[in-house]
Structure 1
Amino acid sequence: MAKQETNSDGSSVVSDLIHFLNASPTAFHAVDEAKRRLRNVGYVQVCEREDWKLEPGKRYFFTRNHTTIVAFAIGKKYVAGNGFYVIGAHTDSPCIKLKPNSKVTKGGFLEIGVQPYGGGLWHTWFDRDLTVAGRLIVRDEKDGSVSFSHRLVRIEEPIMRVPTLAIHLDRNVNSDGFKVNTQSHLLPILATSVKAELNKVIAKIGPDGNGETDGKKSTIYSKHHSILLEMIASQIGCKPDDICDFELQACDTQPSIIGGAAKEFVFSGRLDNLCMSFCSLKALIDATSSESDLEDESGVRMVALFDHEEVGSDSAQGAGSPVMLDALSRITSSFKSDSKLLQKAIQRSFLVSADMAHALHPNYMERHEDNHQPKMHGGLVIKHNANQRYATNSITSFLFREIASKHNLPVQDFVVRNDMPCGSTIGPILASGVGIRTVDVGAPQLSMHSIREMCAVDDVKHSYEHFKAFFLEFSHLDAKIAVDM
């Protein structure tokens, strides 16, 4: 049995979160880090393109698009038709992504054409030291044979910036507010044209910068600045001409840290929702790491981390896709081929939809409903909405709260003000699409969707402990409550 990377005490959980955040500038990297952690403790990867041969007491995972990952551990007493105990979260966060043609030259500057992804607080992206990270499609040629590989890339140092306009040129910005036109104002500056010429980066591909290499035009150079392509290629050890395509995004270079006068906060980007992704993943690993953990388990313990939640989940790898239903179906049918058993399994299953929650903001207290003001250090927040923007009901909230009570873990409730719109999560999407009982929860945080967010160290610990207790005890607790009987 592989050794776990950290102990389960509170301080190690938080330091482990910091490591996870710093290793995960994009959804691609978050899934890659999740894969590494799962493999280190003995989880085996299965492929959706192939047949699965699964066994009770074994642990598996699969990925889709390398931005969604599903990991599951099958109880030793599992039989087809038994339930799945799932924590679902998401790997994506609001950011600015490079356009397919990112090459922009204005006023003597080389800029990067970007488009906003999700509902970000875009003013927070100004005056930050930025870099790029993401996925490349690279041409590999060996012995006259050509193949194409998926490669992850991350440039560590700051290479670009979105500068604000000086107040002298916008005297009313403080009174009228900082209004961002994402088409014209959000372009990062990469270099000056003069400096790029002096460094002879453009000269490497022809005097016009259009990619004349050995008399043959390179399409990739016509779409993106050569200086950017050279840096990306150097990072992964290939030639710029071997880069066929990419999905890159701008990333803040400031690392995630523990801060505050009492060292009580986590300061980081992407807490929404990598914090919940990490806590659920670590809880699953620690609840399935030994042979005895699955000895009396009759169900399947699962974590599903989806892409594209921030833009509605409607993609081949989002929560609105068949990913979850496919996983439940394939696991069930691996043990017995009977379509009725899947329907029975779904009704015996339970989903914890884990997405960060809004903590009470001391400077905007009027934005919270008086009786529902989640506090930092107060534990996981159970989210309620009568109009089903969250999928919580009295049964699902009771079950989740009962686990907390048994372990002396704090729990809070959240309802949005009646005169404000309510956000949503993957919870209602999976509840309606799969038919699975669902509770919506999340750790409280401030600055949600900013480039730099914050949450409490204590709530990271509470979340991990609550999720781990859910995996260890839910099947026994669920047997004690009768509904629809």
Structure 2
Amino acid sequence: MTSVEHILDLRDFIEAAPSSFHAAREAGKRLAGAGFSQLAETDAWPVTGKFFMIRDGAIMAWIVPEGATATTPFNILGAHTDSPSFKLKPKPTMSRFGWLQAGVEVYGGPLLNSWLDRELQFAGRLVDLDGTETLVATGPLLRFPQLAIHLDRGSNDGLKLDKQFHMNPVWGQSEGVESDLLGLLADRAGVDGASIGGYDIVVADTQPGQIFGANNEFFAAGRMDNLTSVHAGLVALMAAAAAPAAGVIPVLAAFDHEEIGSGSRSGACGPILEDVLTRVSDGLGASESERRRAFASSFCVSADAGHAVHPNYGERHDPVNLPVLNGGPLLKINANQRYATDGVGAAVWARLCAKAGAPYQEFVSNNNVPCGSTIGPLTATRLGIRTLDVGTPLLSMHSARELCGVDDPHHLAQITQTFFAAAV
């Protein structure tokens, strides 16, 4: 697969994944097509083979090769399926001045202004009173309209958006339509609106991803934080399935809720990854001591989006470490362990990149700019597995539409495939 072929496949994956629930289901669909079997958490699990399980908006997938033992290490690619957005509130239908609006709550830390004046959709899951879940994606339906400059002459001097009063999208007019947003969502999903007992619905951009630039070197799309990493891990795991390595158990761990702190049953602070690793280990007949030995020789690459140097805001970056688009994935480093990378992890990453024939760049924050964090430190803390943090460099992170280089996601997949092929 070339860089362009990879980015086009990433475009299709992003388009099919307007919510974390859709991302998990699309990943599962692709894995099933590659011969992986879906497992239910309530069932007994087979030992060797290619498997995946879905918990809400998270997906875990793994390969247990023939010959795996109780102490075979796990090589884990960690990522997350959710992105900053807006989530539908209870009693979401609002009517004002003849407009139909939706009550939404800010999810994570979106760049609010980037969501203005775009054709957006609602996407997520509807849950019937009997517990049946149905995914829905409306296509273009709503918009956050910006106030005209004639009515706010100072808007170009500093736009101030109130999260409660200014970020209520319009989705129709109250004259001549059924003014029930949940009813509309139910209709689009093909279910009975009266049977809906709950829902998890977010706002998503509808504009397709686009390659552009003087040499077609750029790619713009929504939700690249962090579907670039989920997709890279998916591509690498399916490639690994063609020739499983005997000495390692490769795992794709795509969590939900990273953008709001990971504190959920499907997030990195929850038990989902440990549940999977423990059940696989139990299937291999591991004692607690043997499981700890396996964990001690395991490795986790936490893959999340990172920052490329911005040409108009160079002072916000470290003056020496200045990663660029198409310069390779980032090795993310922070002295205060907001990223989990240490010297041992850095050496492992350098070795993997050299073996894959792929470039990489180092990222460290400007001392005056607070550093974000990822699932890396959470995973290392929960499981004691050595972890490093990497990611695709972006501009406009947390925008409704982010920007990356065409080559970088492909390089991340190549390195991940190398990582899945042998113990480090």
Normalising by structure 1, we get a TM-score of 0.85
Match of 1:62 among 47, 53, 64: 53
Q: Measure how far apart 1:29 and its partner are.
A: 0.5
Q: What SS class does the counterpart of residue 288 from structure 1 fall into?
A: helix
Query: Does the 8 Å CA contact 1:54/1:331 hold for their aligned counterparts?
Result: yes
Q: What SS class does the counterpart of residue 14 from structure 1 fall into?
A: helix
AA in 1 matched with 2:6? V
The match for 2:111 is 121
Q: CA RMSD in A?
A: 1.4
Moved more, 74-83 or 120-129: 74-83
After superposition, give the CA deviation of every residue in 1:88-121 in whole Å (9 maximum; x if it has no partner). 0000000011101112222222210000000110
Distance 2:355 2:105 in 1: 47
After superposition, give the CA deviation of every residue in 1:277-315 in whole Å (9 maximum; x if it has no partner). 1011111111112xxx22x52221110000000010011
What does 1:192-341 align with in structure 2 at a 5 Å threshold?
Answer: 192-196=173-177, 201=178, 225-226=179-180, 228-289=181-242, 293-294=243-244, 296-341=245-290
Distance 1:356 1:74 in 2: 28
Q: What SS class does the counterpart of residue 175 from structure 2 fall into?
A: helix
Query: Does the 8 Å CA contact 1:400/1:470 hold for their aligned counterparts?
Result: no
Match of 1:35 among 28, 39, 62: 28
AA in 1 matched with 2:210? I
1:20 equivalent to 2:16? Answer: no
Q: Measure how far apart 1:230 and its partner are.
A: 4.0
After superposition, give the CA deviation of every residue in 1:392-413 in whole Å (9 maximum; x if it has no partner). 0111110111121123211110
Distance 1:414 1:80 in 2: 37
Match of 1:386 among 324, 331, 335: 335
Q: What SS class does the counterpart of residue 249 from structure 1 fall into?
A: strand
Q: What SS class does the counterpart of residue 387 from structure 1 fall into?
A: coil
The match for 2:403 is 454
Query: Does the 8 Å CA contact 1:77/1:299 hold for their aligned counterparts?
Result: no
Distance 1:389 1:69 in 2: 24
The match for 1:214 is none
AA in 1 matched with 2:55? R
Q: What SS class does the counterpart of residue 301 from structure 1 fall into?
A: strand
Query: Does the 8 Å CA contact 1:135/1:151 hold for their aligned counterparts?
Result: yes
AA in 2 matched with 1:193? S
Question: What are structure 2's unaligned runs of at least 5 residues?
Answer: none
The match for 1:356 is 305
Distance 2:63 2:250 in 1: 5
The match for 1:182 is 163
The match for 1:149 is 132
Q: Measure how far apart 1:174 and its partner are.
A: 1.6
AA in 1 matched with 2:381? S
AA in 2 matched with 1:35? G
The match for 1:50 is 43
Q: What SS class does the counterpart of residue 286 from structure 1 fall into?
A: helix
Distance 2:371 2:185 in 1: 40
Distance 1:121 1:48 in 2: 37
Provide closer, same or farther for how the CA distance between residues 240 and 412 of structure 1 changes in structure 2, counting only shifts above 3 A.
same
After superposition, give the CA deviation of every residue in 1:181-204 in whole Å (9 maximum; x if it has no partner). 1000000012222243xxxx3xxx
Distance 1:279 1:427 in 2: 17
AA in 2 matched with 1:190? W
Distance 1:131 1:408 in 2: 40
Match of 1:92 among 72, 82, 85: 82
Provide closer, same or farther for how the CA distance between residues 234 and 335 of structure 1 changes in structure 2, counting only shifts above 3 A.
same
Higher Cα radius of gyration: 1
1:110 equivalent to 2:100? Answer: yes
Question: What are structure 1's unaligned runs of at least 5 residues?
Answer: 1-7, 140-146, 202-224, 479-485
Match of 1:164 among 146, 149, 173: 146
Distance 1:252 1:409 in 2: 31
* Number of residue equivalences: 424
Normalising by structure 2, we get a TM-score of 0.97
Query: Does the 8 Å CA contact 1:109/1:193 hold for their aligned counterparts?
Result: yes
Distance 2:209 2:166 in 1: 27
The percent identity for this pair of structures is: 40
AA in 2 matched with 1:312? G
Distance 1:51 1:42 in 2: 19
Query: Does the 8 Å CA contact 2:71/2:286 hold for their aligned counterparts?
Result: no
Q: Measure how far apart 1:160 and its partner are.
A: 1.6
After superposition, give the CA deviation of every residue in 1:25-52 in whole Å (9 maximum; x if it has no partner). 0001000100000000111111222222
Distance 1:323 1:301 in 2: 16
After superposition, give the CA deviation of every residue in 1:423-455 in whole Å (9 maximum; x if it has no partner). 000000000111010110001110000001010
Q: What SS class does the counterpart of residue 132 from structure 2 fall into?
A: strand
Query: Does the 8 Å CA contact 2:126/2:135 hold for their aligned counterparts?
Result: yes
Q: Measure how far apart 1:136 and its partner are.
A: 0.8
Q: Measure how far apart 1:337 and its partner are.
A: 4.5
Query: Does the 8 Å CA contact 1:328/1:342 hold for their aligned counterparts?
Result: no
Q: What SS class does the counterpart of residue 295 from structure 2 fall into?
A: helix
The match for 1:425 is 374
